[in-house]
Amino acid sequence: MPKEPNKSSNEEGKKVDDKASEDSTGQTDGSEELLRKRIRTNTPSPHRQTPPSSPSKFVTVEELMETAKGVTNMVLAHEITVNGGFQIKPTEPAEGSLEKHVKEIVHKAFWDCLEAQLNDDPPVYEHAIKLVGEIKETLLSFLMPSQARLKGQIEEALDLSLIQQQAENGALDIGKVAQFIIDTMGAFCAPCRDKEVRKLRDITDIVLLFRSIFAVLDKMKVDMANFAVSSLRPHLLQHSVEYERNKFQGFLNTQPNALNFTQKWLQESADSVLRGADGGTAGSPGTSSQLLLNVHNHAYLRLLHWEHGMDNFPETVLMDRGRFLEMQLELERLVLMASVLLIVYNSAGEAISGLPGLMDTLKNTVRVLLVDMHTPSFKADETFTAIGEKLCLELGECLTQHGFSPFHPDRQNALKGQIAAVKSQDNPIHKLVDSRIQAYLLGFLEPGPHRSPPAVPGGLVPIGKELEDIGIKLSHLVNFNKLVYSPFYQKILQDVVQAEGSAATWTASNKSDD
């Protein structure tokens, strides 16, 4: 039976790199593969004509593999640091996949062979002893270095040489061996596994018992790995900034052009801020700290409207790409929700303002109908027609219930038309709501200790709680990212702001001459 990779380690003092290497498989949401791809795509082609600047550095396969390993470790350490709920989860092949089918065939063949051997007369214990050896290794891996007495007990009770001799002499009691294994598992397992371990004692069929033991051990491996992660997190929090910065510097040493997309990202932000397109103030091209901060903060907001494709995402925020995308999708939904509610309340006027529970009812209706807006099956025209119909119905019932005149059909049709139009990003109300949300989120990025959340702008109160949650999440990501990559950002920001400022001054000078 193929061994499962051991993902558990209780040695709290073990180095971060070792732990990251051990636990990295399948836990990085594709970030590792994307960075590996970046390594390949950013390596200059021998056919690309570029001016010589410094002697080319020959990179060996071993260096690239070491860099990829470092990136993997950095991704995992970052995930553990920024995601308080991070947990290692067992991976299973997809249902109906070839991998799952092959796995089932191999496992069935193994267990069938074990059953045939144990049913022989006399029984053959070749496979059973191999299983005991694997179980022994797993149990020993759960131990801490200080648990020498328990290690000695396991070594003695599961002495494979002795077990082999007993089997050859017909004196092996495999049931007794299994009971020792179960007792030891009960001593090591997390409280949530106690019930599953107790059930093992009721199994009399040896083959089924071994299968069940391995099933519980697989869960215990994950439990122990997550315990190791929780033990590792405080250490990472203390050293994560320096650790990630050093890892990225090592990556940059191997791939000197690994900040290309970051520079382009900051360049576009500087261009927008200095020309007033992102709410910045065009003018002097100075490189004051406030101007640099303004450009940098607007750059992070641009990640919430990213339209350049995921392969062009800035390298310095690549590990949080999924988090920024998640916020972007949620903000798109909130913009539509707030726009629709603003239209409804402006259309219905004072008649519905202050009515208890109405806002929550309307908001929930819109949320439910927009829940699939980012899926391929979503049909915007049909959905916003349904939203208009449903809200007009709910408004009519509410007005009647509180003694107001019902909505006139003409007003209903006008309201439905406004709701249908708001799905367009060019719609004035859509643009207004989006602009206010961006200004609100920008307030979370302003520096200052113990800053309270900014005031929710007018028209956004119905989604205030959701926006505050996003703002807090955004500020945590941005602040940590700035701490890690500040040495890399500083020079890039100064260069791009000076370049954009010089261009703006030259343009203004030419216009004045004209």
pLDDT at 83: 66
Percentage of the chain modeled with pLDDT above 70: 75
Same domain, yes or no, for 109 and 224?
yes
Residue 142 lies in a domain: yes
Average pLDDT over residues 156-181: 89
Tell me the pLDDT tens digit for each residue of 370-393.
Answer: 999 999 999 999 999 999 999 988
Q: Are 247 and 73 in contact (CB under 8 A)?
A: yes
Residue 38 lies in a domain: no
- Where does 297-398 show beta strands of DSSP type E? none
Tally of domains in the chain: 2
How confident is the prediction for the chain on average, in pLDDT?
A: 78
Whether the predicted pLDDT of 505 surpasses 50 = no
Q: How far is CA 208 from the centre of its chain?
A: 38
Same domain, yes or no, for 209 and 330?
no
Side chain identity at 240, as an amino acid letter?
A: S
pLDDT at 417: 93
Say how far apart CA 501 and CA 479 lie, in whole Å.
26
Tell me the pLDDT tens digit for each residue of 280-336.
Answer: 444 444 447 788 888 999 999 999 988 877 778 999 988 889 889 999 999 999 999
Residue 75 lies in a domain: no
Q: Are 182 and 135 in contact (CB under 8 A)?
A: no
Whether the predicted pLDDT of 470 surpasses 90 = yes
The whole domain housing 490 covers: 271-277+286-502
Side chain identity at 457, as an amino acid letter?
A: P
Same domain, yes or no, for 336 and 456?
yes
pLDDT band with cut points at 50, 70 and 90 for residue 41: very low
Residue 83 lies in a domain: no
Same domain, yes or no, for 226 and 295?
no
Say how far apart CA 343 and CA 330 lie, in whole Å.
20
Tell me the pLDDT tens digit for each residue of 172-202.
Answer: 888 889 999 999 999 888 888 999 999 999 9
Structure tokens at 461: 């109160």
pLDDT at 134: 92
Residue 12 lies in a domain: no
Task: Identify which of 124, 121, 116, 120 has the alpha carbon closest to the alpha carbon of residue 167.
Answer: 124
Same domain, yes or no, for 294 and 423?
yes
93: cis peptide before it, omega within 30°? no
The pTM assigned to this predicted structure is 0.60
Whether the predicted pLDDT of 237 surpasses 50 = yes
Same domain, yes or no, for 450 and 316?
yes
Residue 254 lies in a domain: no
Tell me the pLDDT tens digit for each residue of 209-224.
Answer: 989 999 999 888 888 8
Same domain, yes or no, for 324 and 411?
yes
pLDDT at 507: 43
Residue 70 lies in a domain: no
Write the CB contacts of 187 (distance below 8 Å, at least 6 apart in sequence): 150
CB count, 10 Å around CB of 336?
A: 26
Task: Identify which of 116, 141, 114, 143 has the alpha carbon closest to the alpha carbon of residue 130.
Answer: 114
Residue 176 lies in a domain: yes
Structure tokens at 111: 């267990």
Same domain, yes or no, for 157 and 223?
yes
Same domain, yes or no, for 219 and 321?
no
Tell me the pLDDT tens digit for each residue of 5-38.
Answer: 443 434 433 443 444 444 444 444 444 454 444 4
Same domain, yes or no, for 202 and 291?
no
Task: Identify which of 427, 428, 456, 431 has the alpha carbon closest to the alpha carbon of residue 441.
Answer: 456
